């Protein structure tokens, strides 16, 4: 029983949290309320899915939040002229900048937290320049014509949940049914052994960061559609919960285990924690502190210390 609980701690954690919040307010258990809660967190979920690939290989992507901010600006500016093509365009921009982080990390041996932080700075500066450092509004007529369906519901199910489901299954296919997915696992488990077997480890890492950038960009597009606009700081506060979602789901910073299914559970845990803080009237300025503490605990309990020869 102890081993069963230990191997499924993230599922048990989610169950306990849902039970606890429901006891505080039974309305929380209402199915329509839960679906709305999950719909609100879809952009963060998609960002967390992208971060999963970067963390899965033992890296980290600190540019995701700034990437999403920049993409909200780009989507707001160019939706009217590009139409639906704004979605693949933004995804390609995110993938290119994510790949740039990977190249800096692998070719110049710069730690991923530095390379992605630098790319995040580039994204932030571009967002400020493109927007004139102000909030922008999207062409409402074009947004409603192309993406209005995303903001409505099918019965009690918000349509945005279907978007999240499609992205999740695509990520799951990449992880479990493709050669790249198997290589990502091998690199995360032991990159030196993977390199010794002839695998092009640098290429795999670049692709992992490209996936992370692409999904951060998609999260930015969806966020801008939801809010009908964008700004250089509109998605601030997303990065820490997204990393927490990956780690509490069971994908450690040392990589090699976990994956997108774990991130699905981890994101649900984050959603319940956010809801509980609203019910308990935790001030918004203190919520990041709570997620910071949860992040520390998640790292302590998930990190594989056998892969750490030295801690600096």
Please report whether residue 145 resides in a domain.
yes
Residue 139 scores a pLDDT above 80:
yes
Rank 149-153, 207-211, 306-310 by mean pLDDT and report only the highest. 207-211
Please report whether residue 3 resides in a domain.
no
Please report whether residue 109 resides in a domain.
yes
Residue 312 scores a pLDDT above 80:
no
Residue 50 scores a pLDDT above 80:
yes
Distance CA 294, CA 125 (A): 30
247: nearest Cα among 274, 215, 270:
270
Number of folded domains that form the chain: 1
**Phi, psi at residue 136, to the nearest 5°?**
-115, 155
pLDDT at 307: 61
pLDDT tens track for 53-112: 999 999 999 999 999 999 999 999 999 999 999 999 999 999 999 999 999 999 999 999
Please report whether residue 168 resides in a domain.
yes
Please report whether residue 1 resides in a domain.
no
Q: CATH number of the domain that 142 lies in?
A: 1.10.3470
Tokens coding 150: 């995303």
Please report whether residue 106 resides in a domain.
yes
Indicate the length of the chain as a whole number.
312
Please report whether residue 35 resides in a domain.
yes
Q: Which residue has the higher pLDDT, 7 or 189?
A: 189
pLDDT at 311: 41
- Give me the domain span that covers residue 18: 10-303
Rank 264-273, 286-295, 297-306 by mean pLDDT and report only the highest. 264-273
Please report whether residue 310 resides in a domain.
no
Distance CA 143, CA 164 (A): 19
Determine contact, residues 222/46, Cβ cutoff 8 Å.
Answer: yes
| 7 — pLDDT class (breaks 50, 70, 90) | low
pLDDT at 200: 95
Determine contact, residues 28/275, Cβ cutoff 8 Å.
Answer: yes
């Amino acid at each position: 029983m102890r081993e069963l609980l230990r191997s499924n701690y993230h599922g048990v954690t989610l169950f306990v949290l849902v039970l606890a919040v429901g006891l505080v307010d039974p309305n929380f258990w209402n199915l329509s309320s839960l679906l709305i809660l999950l719909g609100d967190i879809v952009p963060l979920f998609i960002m967390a899915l992208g971060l999963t690939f970067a963390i899965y290989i033992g890296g980290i992507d600190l540019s995701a939040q700034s990437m999403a901010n920049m993409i909200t600006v780009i989507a707001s500016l160019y939706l009217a002229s590009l139409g639906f093509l704004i979605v693949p365009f933004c995804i390609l921009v995110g993938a290119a900048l994510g790949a740039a982080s990977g190249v800096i990390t692998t070719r110049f041996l710069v730690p991923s937290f530095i390379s992605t932080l630098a790319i995040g700075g580039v994204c932030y500066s571009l967002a400020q320049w493109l927007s004139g450092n102000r909030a922008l509004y999207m062409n409402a007529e074009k947004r409603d014509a192309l993406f209005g369906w995303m903001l409505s519901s099918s019965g009690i199910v918000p349509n945005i949940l279907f978007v999240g489901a499609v992205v999740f299954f695509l990520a799951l296919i990449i992880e479990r049914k493709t050669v790249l997915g198997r290589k990502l696992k091998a690199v995360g488990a032991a990159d030196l052994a993977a390199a010794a077997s002839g695998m092009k480890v640098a290429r795999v890492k670049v692709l992992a960061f490209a996936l992370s950038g692409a999904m951060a960009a998609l999260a930015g597009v969806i966020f801008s559609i939801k809010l009908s606009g964008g700004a250089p700081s509109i998605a601030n506060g997303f990065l820490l919960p997204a990393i927490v979602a990956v780690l509490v789901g069971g994908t450690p910073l040392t990589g090699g285990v976990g994956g997108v299914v774990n991130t699905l559970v981890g994101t649900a845990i984050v959603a319940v924690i956010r809801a509980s803080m609203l019910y308990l009237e935790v001030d918004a300025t203190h919520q990041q502190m709570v997620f910071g503490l949860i992040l520390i605990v998640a790292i302590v309990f998930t990190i594989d210390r056998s892969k750490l020869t030295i801690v600096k």
